[in-house]
Structure 1
Amino acid sequence: MDNDNWLETLAQEGAYARDDTAFDTAGYHKILCPEFPDFLFDFVGLPLLQRLQGIGLLCGTDWTPLFHNRFYYSRLNHSVGTALIVWNFTHDRAQTVAALLHDVSSPTFSHVTDFRNGDALTQESTEALNIRMLADSEELLTLLEAHALDFDAVADYHMYSVADTAVPGLCADRLEYMYPSGAALNGIWSMDAIAANYAQVMLMKNKAGQLELGFRSEAAALEYTKKFCATSLILQRNEDKIAMQLMADVLSRAVECGFAKEDDFYTVSEQLLINRFDGFAEDDADPAFTRLYRTFRSMTAIEHTEEPLADAYCVSLNVKQRYVNPLVRIASGQAKRLSAISPEADECIKAFLAYKDSTCGCVRWQH
């Protein structure tokens, strides 16, 4: 690629072409909860939530042509959607606000920071910061007082099983993110399909006696589980591992070179950082940064190998496995895990858990 015109060439090739009208976020949120609760508007307007509009749900893959994401869906969109699901099924203000606030510590490019921190396997390295950021927000504390809500009741959504529960259970967080993720990454969900599937979701109790989201019908549970596994498989492949680790290295090098500060990842949007990095790469201000960044912004395919390749950026990683085995209401009215009643679901889940990509994923350097 011509060093002087690499950005122009990329634009002409449509590397980042996407239709942000392809997904009706407001319409989707109305499916999740037909009536948007008035009290939630005040909280959505908080600065620590509004900054999440500049952070994508899909962890930086919006900015590389290796992926063809169909639209942009933000962490704010996800947070609102999660809160709406909780409200729809509980009508509990504290649980709903806790769900809304669960991602305030997400940095730009989301879980890319976990890869920077060596936490690709659990991707939880920024979660401890969440409560500290909430406690430091005077605007939030004032709003909680105005709504007669205790800080401790909204500071940790892990307290509420409808909002968050252990894998393989289904919770609002997990249910919400996979609908738009599947729609964006592989077009696996249409709005009509989401509406029909979500209409089958209900509250149940699991074996531990905890409330958990599940499905009224085996067919709906199977559809969701199969599509969940299909989308999660994308996140297990070396393409995703390369995209996230390479962006992690871009961010680390940017900090080393003074092109960005750690605070920027909590104050500057992804778009503005990309614009800044485009300029540094175009000027070739640091050759190591330029090579990393141009490779991220230009790669369209990778090589799957068993050994690292010369003159290539290579990764060999184990990453978090995201899957569900939801509850289903059976004829007796009891709740059973889907895999216990559906051989097809059992096979699907086992196949996902057994999946291994090649030992290495490599992409040729863009010089």
Structure 2
Amino acid sequence: MKSNFDIEKYHSILCPDYPDFLDSYLRVLLIQRLSGVGLLCGTDWTPLFHNKFFYSRLNHSIGVALIVWNFTHDKKQTLAGLVHDIATPAFSHVVDFMNGDASTQESTEASTKKIINEDIELSELLFSQGIYKYEIDDYHKYPIADNEVPGLSADRLEYMYPSGAALEGVWTIEEIAGNYSQIAVLKNEKGCDELGFVSLEAALEYTEKFCRISRILQKNEDKVAMQLMADILSRAIELHYIMEEDLYFMDESYLIRKFDNIARRRLDAEFTKLYSTFRTMKEVVGSDTPISGAYCVSLNVKKRYVNPLVKNSSGTAERLSDVSKEGRECIDDFLNFKDSRYGCVYWA
């Protein structure tokens, strides 16, 4: 993977006034673990995708924290943003697919509070700074950090800048800087704070690129890659190559090396077939029915989209779909998109 995407420069755009208190938290092993977990759910490890760079869950978590700090200067909200993905296992949402939760992709979030409460290093650091764990263990209660679809939050905003840059190169650092400069805290229909745009053009730019990348995540290529890796993990656990708990301690590069070695030794025919297919596949074939001699999936997966607030001339905010025909059509086109019923890849 080669790219000119400078993650450090990108993070400085999100928050020029870096909060120094983050540094002590970034040394916590529980948080550092996320440096080995990719944002793009295992697609970094198959030639079916051509990701331009590796962006970790730690990079994402730092980005979310920086956005929250930039717009709130609230330490507790910022820390809630930093630890929101603390329960994310290796290969991220692949484990939701393994758990049969492709449609909401929230199954792994259930243990967030438990993990935070049981980590001694993090607990001691919070205590030393007079912060209670309950104040940072649920970022959903802070609307700048997270809110319901189709609102724009720090999590949703941050996720799509690097995802777009990595998957299709739709964002350069300069384009992100220009777009991000048009974001402010606005009031939504419920009178709650929500991130939105002060420029219609910037709102439309972000939404169009968001929908473009979200469409990739709705295509059969992404479904096949994630479900196939989910089946690989299930088989590895069944054969005791790994334990499910290892997904919360081992990073993806280590697991890939381990699986490469197991597949090379052909210890189990089914595992070898699944894994070799994942590591060599380059094309997914669409079909109305399963294809013989191929690995096929038919899934409904979570739809990720935004309909951001836009500040109008009177100073109030409206949804993009209410002020822009182009924006409304973009969102509708995404919501109505359906790939072929089955996505299939021929066995390696």
Match of 2:306 in 1: 324
Q: Post-superposition shift, 1:22?
A: 2.5
What do residues 235-272 of structure 1 show as CA deviations (whole Å, max 9, x unaligned)?
A: 00000000000000000001111211111100000000
Amino acid at match of 1:122: T
Establish whether residue 343 from structure 1 lines up as the match of residue 330 from structure 2. Answer: no
Pick one of 283, 291, 301 that aligns with 2:273: 291
Aligned mates of 2:69, 2:129 — CA distance in 1: 16
Aligned mates of 2:85, 2:68 — CA distance in 1: 15
Aligned mates of 1:266, 1:141 — CA distance in 2: 19
Match of 2:336 in 1: 354
Pick one of 182, 185, 188 that aligns with 1:200: 182
Match of 1:64 in 2: 46
Match of 1:186 in 2: 168
What do residues 37-70 of structure 1 show as CA deviations (whole Å, max 9, x unaligned)?
A: 1111111111111000000000000000000000
Aligned mates of 1:173, 1:106 — CA distance in 2: 14
Aligned mates of 1:147, 1:25 — CA distance in 2: 29
Q: Post-superposition shift, 1:150?
A: 1.5
Counterpart secondary structure, 1:241: helix
Pick one of 138, 142, 151 that aligns with 1:169: 151
Structure 1 unmatched ranges of 5 or more? 1-17
Match of 2:262 in 1: 280
Amino acid at match of 2:342: C
Aligned mates of 1:210, 1:106 — CA distance in 2: 28
Off by >2 Å, runs of 4+ in structure 1: none
Amino acid at match of 1:26: E
Amino acid at match of 1:281: A
Aligned pairs (5 A) from 1:65-214: 65-214=47-196
Amino acid at match of 1:105: A
Aligned mates of 2:129, 2:24 — CA distance in 1: 10
User: TM-score, with normalisation over the residues of structure 1?
Assistant: 0.94
Aligned mates of 1:257, 1:211 — CA distance in 2: 49
Aligned mates of 1:295, 1:275 — CA distance in 2: 16
User: TM-score, with normalisation over the residues of structure 2?
Assistant: 0.99
Aligned mates of 2:169, 2:272 — CA distance in 1: 33
Amino acid at match of 2:117: A
Aligned mates of 1:333, 1:247 — CA distance in 2: 48
Structure 2 unmatched ranges of 5 or more? none
Amino acid at match of 1:214: G
Q: Post-superposition shift, 1:279?
A: 0.3
Q: Post-superposition shift, 1:145?
A: 1.3
Establish whether residue 239 from structure 1 lines up as the match of residue 221 from structure 2. Answer: yes
Q: Post-superposition shift, 1:194?
A: 0.2
Counterpart secondary structure, 1:174: helix
Counterpart secondary structure, 2:108: coil
